[in-house]
Structure 1
Amino acid sequence: MIDSTSPELPDDTVPATSTTAGQDALPRRLNLVQGTALNMIDMVGIGPFVVLPLVIKTLGGPQFMWAWVLGAFISLIDAFVWAELGAAFPQAGGSYNFLKISYGERRWGRLLSFLYVWQTLIQAPLVMASGAIGFAQYASYLMPLDDWQRRAVSGGVVLLIIVLLYRKIDSIGKIGLVMWGAVLLTLGWIIIGGLTNARIPLSETISGMIPAVGSVSGGLLAAGLGQASVKTIYCYLGYYNVCHLGGEIQRPTRNIPASMFISIVGIAALYLLMNLSVVSVVPWQEAQNSEFIVSTFVETLYGPGAGKLATILVLLVAFSSLFAVLLGYSRVPYAAAVDGQFFKIFARLHPTRQFPYVSLLFLGGLGFIFSLLFRLGDVITAILAMRIVIQFVGQAIGLLLLHRRRAVSDFPFRMPLFPLPVLLAICIWLFVFFSTGLTFMLSGLTVIGLGIVAFLVSAGLKKRWPFDPTKGA
């Protein structure tokens, strides 16, 4: 909840820390509605349309709905951590600043924030690639595409996103609202169409979930729920996108927390209704094997022409999500460079349009390359495994450390029952990390290990901590 005893910061003011130097160059022009819209289009994307069959197949029955509930619950609990940090430190870069401030700006915070930027250079383009690959997959419903044609489509989508983002932030906010409308239109059509034309009674689907409740504690179902939740959480990721844009949000101490909770509750409701709608028309036994479940669903109800129209709307939603993803992540290397912890070239703003164009072009360029190289299924799991240890778990522990060092008044947003939500978030994220499987766990830890080596090499060349203890004092 918002602490009414804490003074509201002016729109263009952020808490005074050494990380804010130079960041006031970003104008605060995004309001609550625009920030929420960018969050939501980031969250939806292609994810729910390609993940729905995978989740059903993993759990093998109506109990697949619990994976979507768990994904929403994890996101909501974790949002309390983001809300406290985002309201207290509303700056460009999000987790980069949160980690550095939480762990101390001269020693361990320097390492943790470096590792986050290091991971961002890899995982942000992978997120772009996953959306672009899913886009190409659904596009093949409209016309047959061979492997290379799909790769060409996914790469072309990334390039078009870069072109659209090469502009002022205020016009981007307006574009985001239009794309948000497309998201709501698509999901609304699926939900209303299915629930008003149900061919399988909803009571059957809902009753099929009930026996699963008593079995959730069983080992096999718990393991399956963990694996399925890895995929549903991927569909919720993005509720914190507003934190990456913290330096451009109006009234950040209120709008940053509000936009996250509105986004999670709204998207969770839409996802659950969408899933119920789909399986009320297409039996789950058939849905789990469908490559174009939404297209199949609409075609079943209204015919091939409507199926093609639904596919076009899905593609627009996926495109909108990629737009929001690259917008948010392009601010992370920029924030690190402004702070003197990354290559100076990434701190450059466009001379007339005031956005970090070097960061945008670099991440977008890597996203283009990755979209030509990787497959969708493995990318989804790898993205989550790579981020959990440093970003989600590290950030939650960092908030606990901050509460030991700082006064209550330093946190404009106060979560209820602190520190219970933080401890719960840490336990859940570790459960999800182990659920990704040994291969992906090792890949995530390998990236961290290489990042530590890169940090030590950089620190050695610059004569910084830990090689020069006096500079870490």
Structure 2
Amino acid sequence: MSAAPPPSGGFVRRVGLFQATAINMSQMCGIGPFVTIPLMVAAFGGPQAVIGFVAGALLALADGLIWAELGAAMPGSGGTYVYLRKAFQYRSGRLMPFLFVWTAMLFIPLIMSTGVVGFVQYLGYLAPGLGQGAGDAIGVGVIALVVLLLWRGIEHIAKITAVMWVVMIASVVLVIFAAFTHFDTGPAFDYPDGAFSFTGTAFWTGFAAGLTIGIYDYLGYNTTAYMGAEIKNPGRTLPRSIVFSILGIMAIYLLLQVGTLGVVDWHRMLDPKDIASTSVASAVLEETWGKTAADVVTVMILVTAFASVFTGLLGGSRVPYDAARDRVFFKPYGRLHPRHGFPVLGLATMGVITVIGFLLGRHTDLATLIQLLTTVMVLVQGLAQIAALVTLRRKRPDMERPYRMWLYPLPGIVALAGWLVIYGYADTNSPGRHPIEWSLGWLALGCAAFALWARREKVWPFGPRESVIDVGDTNTLRRGA
């Protein structure tokens, strides 16, 4: 499998380890940390907010090892869809992969929409008079430009991504360097009373909110798993790209968080009228190297935000394509562009939903959008994928696994605990928004959509049960009574 030939769906394996890691890191380190540092400080109530980034890193690494084993063993386009299809085909037919694709069509664009919200937020630093309507129009225009650039072949996209990755790394490094050249231990470690009161409910409520923000910042370590059919030597490249990107971003985030707190008084981040609450990286540069430097780095951050949306839609648009090709989702999503070979309808649909999510975030708040998207993805990706790993280990011990999870099953247990904390505290940390109820409602709607689709397609539970038999790099359906 590590030397898997090109798949038979029109994709070609052209993305190597460097480009794969760059794609992951561009998606992970987009606008996220530049807009969530103030949110993390607000969640914890002080500079102890660094705990949230550490906790998010541990959850990302534990979950990343799950992605690494599953992705190396089944390097097809679609990521979680492929894994759920393989693990649960005998018990629930096509229900689980259908529900994942149904859910991914929502949470992947919502993740991208947060990047565009952050883009407009930082643009407001360069144009202080930017109004609500103008900001909305610019955000929608950015999304349209991303979709237009993705309307081409993967070989061109990989080159564009590598360039944007360099800009992303440069912008983060400049902010970190500026912060540590003017670092003050006073504000960085100015902990309020009771900051580490582990016995109180306030700390754990803040911890759950911080963990949610933290894992949001690390999301993207799995982007190349969605592109498994386009990765060179996937048995080795996929696990390495996941682990390398998580470890690299972990170091960057910790330096960025601590450095920022050593320059900007964390109390400023709680004031919605202060630039430190909306454009904290610009505030760091302004405090250290002056306004001109702040403007330059802000432009680089805008490029970084653009790159994260670009790579996210690149990987996410492949999910419904593979599902439709395997007759587990609506047929029109299984068509590729006749010339450039990308999934047309998947990209267009996710572009539209990204616009809707962006406008939702602009007219509520970024924290609410983050809470909604993480809650939606927990059930049918986070928890379901852990179950898929365990199921395949038990029922398919003969499956070829170029990479096997280190310390199994410990990473799975850590990931399970983390996802349950995020889900269990969702309503508490988003009062009045009801993210748990919305996630269950969306899942129920997906079940209803599946029932209608299955009845039309005459498959389980309205037809004979089917299973997937592996034949090289393709799949064959076997019908049973």
After TM superposition, the score normalised by the length of structure 1 is 0.92
State the identity %.
37
Q: Does residue 424 of structure 1 match 2:414?
A: yes
| 1:217 CA displacement | 5.0
Within 2, Cα distance between the matches of 1:154 and 1:189?
25
Deviation at 1:11, TM superposition (A): 4.2
Given candidates 3, 6, 13, the residue that maps to 1:10 is 3
Tell me whether 1:317 sits opposite 2:304 in the alignment: yes
CA distance in 2, matches of 1:101, 1:46: 34
How far off is 1:353 after superposition? Answer: 1.4
1:328 pairs with 2:319: no
- Structure 1 residue runs of 5 or longer lacking an equivalent are 1-7, 14-19
Counterparts of 2:410 and 2:280, CA distance in 1: 39
Kindly report which structure 2 residues correspond to 1:274-353, keeping only aligned pairs within 5 A, or say none. 274-289=256-271, 290-353=277-340
Show structure 2 runs of 5+ residues with no match.
272-276, 429-433, 467-478
Aligned residue for 1:410?
400
Give yes or no for contact 1:392–1:429 (8 Å, CA) kept in 2. Answer: yes
Match of 1:182 in 2: 167
Name which of 414, 423, 442 aligns with 1:433: 423
C-alpha distance in structure 2 between counterparts of 1:108 and 1:363, whole Å: 27
Q: Which moved more, 1:434-443 or 1:168-177?
A: 434-443
Give the helix-richer structure, 1 or 2: 1
Q: Paired residue for 2:387?
A: 397
1:3 alignment partner in structure 2: none
1:140-191 Cα offsets, whole Å, 9 max, x none, are 1111211111110110000000111111111111111111101110110011
Partner of 1:256: 238
For the structure 1 residues 397 and 89, does the alpha-carbon distance in structure 2 shift closer, same or farther, using more than 3 Å as the test? same
1: distance between equivalents of 2:278 and 2:339? 45
Call closer, same or farther: CA 1:470–1:57 in 2, change over 3 Å: closer
Q: Larger deviation: 240-249 or 352-361?
A: 352-361
- Bigger mean CA deviation after superposition, 279-288 or 367-376: 367-376
Question: Equivalents in 1 of 2:397, 2:349: separation in Å?
Answer: 39
1:372 Cα deviation after fit: 3.2
RMSD: 2.0
In the comparison of the two structures, how many residue pairs are matched?
454
Aligned mate of 2:462, from 443, 452, 467: 467
Residue 63 of structure 2 contacts residue 415 of structure 2 at CA under 8 Å; is this kept in 1?
yes
Query: Residue 356 of structure 1 aligns with which residue?
Result: 343
Please show how residues 126-205 of structure 1 align to structure 2 within 5 Å: 126-143=110-127, 144-198=129-183, 200-201=184-185, 205=188
Shift of residue 210, structure 1, vs aligned partner: 12
Q: Which amino acid aligns with 1:157?
A: V
Which region of structure 1 is more displaced relative to structure 2, 138-147 or 340-349?
340-349
Is residue 93–residue 460 contact of structure 2 (8 Å, CA) maintained in 1? no
TM-score for both structures, normalised by structure 2: 0.90
Residue matched to 2:444: 449
Greater shift, 334-343 or 246-255, is seen at 334-343
Partner in structure 1 of residue 472 of structure 2? none
Task: Tell me how far 1:134 sits from its aligned partner.
Answer: 1.6
For residues 42-66 of structure 1, give each alpha carbon's deviation from its aligned partner in whole angstroms, at most 9, with x where no partner exists.
0111111111101101111121000
- Change in CA separation of 1:307 and 1:9 when aligned onto 2, cut-off 3 Å: closer
- 2:218 aligned with 1:236, yes or no? yes
Where do 4+ consecutive residues of structure 1 move more than 4 Å? 206-213, 469-472
C-alpha contact (below 8 Å) 1:152/1:372 kept by paired residues: no
Distance 1:470 1:284, change over 3 A: closer
After superposing the two structures, state which structure 1 stretch, 423-432 or 234-243, moved more: 423-432
Q: Which residue type is aligned with residue 341 of structure 1? A: V
Structure 1 stretch 262-271 or stretch 413-422: which is displaced more? 413-422
